[in-house]
Amino acid sequence: MTDFNQFQDSFSDVPPPPKKLTDMLNVLTILTFIGCALFTISAFYNYVTVCHSIEMMEKSMNQLRSDSPMSGMMDSLAASIQKQCEMRLPILIINIVCYALCLIGALQMRALKKTGFFIYLIGEIAPSVAYLFMIGGGMMGIMMTIGLIIPIVFIILYATQLKYLK
């Protein structure tokens, strides 16, 4: 008797149940919300404190001898921090816009929209490209490359969930 009911239900006009948010997508979007909040707070903190870190860098450079192998690396880092201080408002704006893009993308992916992934992708990649043009390479380029590890992991994890998005 149940076989007949299943056969009859397959021809009914009842639409199939809507796609459900996968557990992986749920966890990824929640982590994205938390990350966006923390990085937004960090962006404002960096805006306020980046120029103060130049003074701290100069004090530590004075303690090093000029013939030390670390002095060249410290000079490069000091130049990068100086550029960050000069460009702190554009950096803050870029950060806020990109974190907003990541947040919007995650919200759309929670609604199972595939366009959310591409918005998220832009929000993750754009700051690194902008920093590279604004600040340049050197020590900050190395630190930025290391800082790209987590966004790349998240992009890969979100990409594995594309098959569940419309």
pLDDT in tens, 121-147: 999 999 888 888 887 766 566 667 777
Residue 137 covered by a domain: yes
Answer yes or no: is pLDDT of 23 > 80: yes
Residue 71 covered by a domain: yes
Residue 103 covered by a domain: yes
Instruction: State the Cα–Cα distance between residues 150 and 19, nearest whole angstrom.
Output: 28
Instruction: State the Cα–Cα distance between residues 154 and 158, nearest whole angstrom.
Output: 6
User: In 3D, which of 117, 144, 128 has the Cα closest to residue 32?
Assistant: 117
Q: How many domains does the chain have?
A: 1
Residue 157 covered by a domain: yes
Mean pLDDT is lowest, of 28-37, 38-47, 53-62, 113-122, for 53-62
DSSP classification of residue 64: S
Instruction: State the Cα–Cα distance between residues 28 and 37, nearest whole angstrom.
Output: 14
Q: Domain range spanning residue 73? A: 31-164
Residue 26 covered by a domain: no
Q: 137-150: b or e for each residue (b if 16 or more CB lie within 10 Å)?
A: ebbbbeebeeeeee
Instruction: State the Cα–Cα distance between residues 52 and 105, nearest whole angstrom.
Output: 34
Answer yes or no: is pLDDT of 14 > 70: no
Residue 11 covered by a domain: no
DSSP classification of residue 114: T
More confident of the two residues 147 and 31 = 31
Token pair listed for 158: 């979100």
Tokens 């490069």, residue located: 76
Answer yes or no: is pLDDT of 106 > 80: yes
Tens of pLDDT, residue by residue over 54-71, are 788 777 767 765 666 666
CA distances in angstroms from 93 to 1, 10, 26, 61, 99, listed in the order given: 65, 53, 28, 30, 10
Residue 50 covered by a domain: yes
Cα torsion through 39, 41, 44, 46, rounded to 10:
-60
Residue 13 covered by a domain: no
User: How does residue 18 score in pLDDT terms, banded at 50, 70 and 90?
Assistant: low
Instruction: State the Cα–Cα distance between residues 117 and 165, nearest whole angstrom.
Output: 9
Q: Burial, 98: exposed, middle or buried (Cβ in 10 Å; 0-12, 13-18, 19+)?
A: buried
